[in-house]
Amino acid sequence: MPESAQMKLLCAIFIFSPVFAGLLHAQEKEWPEVEKFAADIKGVIWDLRGTNSLKHLRYDGEKIFPVTGNGMNQNPYKEHAFVDVGVFQIVFGDTRAAWYFVSDDLKLITPVNISEMVEFKAEPGSVIKPVKNFPQDIQNVVWVGRNQQAELKLRWNGKELEVGAKKDSWIVQKVDAVVANRRVLEAGGENNSLFWLVFSEDGSEATWVKVDDIFGGHASTNPGKAALAARTTGLSPQQNDLANHAEDLLNAGEKMRAATLLRELERKNAANKDALKKLQARFNLLK
233-240: Cβ within 8 A, 24+ apart: 233/275, 233/278, 233/279, 233/282, 234/272, 234/274, 234/275, 234/278, 235/265, 235/269, 235/272, 235/275, 235/279, 238/50, 238/51, 238/52, 239/50, 239/265, 239/268, 239/269, 239/275
Clarify whether residues 146 and 181 are in a common domain. yes
54 vs 166, more confident:
54
Domain membership of residue 260 as a residue range: 227-286
Is 81 within 8 Å of 88 (Cβ atoms)?
yes
How far apart are the C-alpha atoms of 55 and 3, rounded to whole Å?
43
Looking at the structure of the chain, the number of domains it has is 2
pLDDT given at position 22: 41
pLDDT band at 273 (very low <50, low <70, confident <90, very high): very high
Count of Cβ atoms closer than 10 Å to residue 134 Cβ = 18
Which of 214, 244, 262 is the endpoint of a domain? Answer: 214
Clarify whether residues 35 and 75 are in a common domain. yes
Which of 152, 183, 214 is the endpoint of a domain? Answer: 214
pLDDT given at position 4: 52
Clarify whether residues 168 and 70 are in a common domain. yes
How far apart are the C-alpha atoms of 109 and 247, rounded to whole Å?
15
Is 64 within 8 Å of 90 (Cβ atoms)?
yes
The secondary element (H helix, E strand) that includes residue 143 is: strand 142-146
Domain-located, residue 222: no
Domain-located, residue 219: no
Say if residue 190's pLDDT is above 80: no
pLDDT given at position 5: 52
Clarify whether residues 89 and 164 are in a common domain. yes
Q: Is the pTM of this model over 0.85?
A: yes
Clarify whether residues 18 and 143 are in a common domain. yes
Which of 191, 214, 237 is the endpoint of a domain? Answer: 214
Clarify whether residues 66 and 176 are in a common domain. yes
Domain-located, residue 220: no
3-state SS record for 2-48: CHHHHHHHHHHHHCCCCCCCCHHHHHCCCCHHHHHHHHHCECCEEEE
Q: Is 157 left (phi over 0), alpha (psi -120 to 50) or beta?
A: alpha
Domain-located, residue 234: yes
Say if residue 152's pLDDT is above 70: yes
Clarify whether residues 14 and 101 are in a common domain. yes
Domain-located, residue 209: yes
Clarify whether residues 65 and 154 are in a common domain. yes
Q: Which residues contact 13 (CB under 8 A, 6 or more apart)?
A: 147, 149, 150, 152, 165, 167
Domain-located, residue 221: no
Clarify whether residues 153 and 280 are in a common domain. no
Q: Is 103 left (phi over 0), alpha (psi -120 to 50) or beta?
A: beta
pLDDT given at position 21: 39
Q: What is the pLDDT of residues 8-50, one digit of tens each?
A: 555 655 554 444 334 433 467 778 999 999 999 999 999 999 9
Clarify whether residues 101 and 155 are in a common domain. yes
Q: What is the pLDDT of residues 194-234, one digit of tens each?
A: 999 999 999 999 999 999 999 999 999 999 999 999 999 99
Domain-located, residue 108: yes
Clarify whether residues 204 and 78 are in a common domain. yes
Clarify whether residues 241 and 99 are in a common domain. no
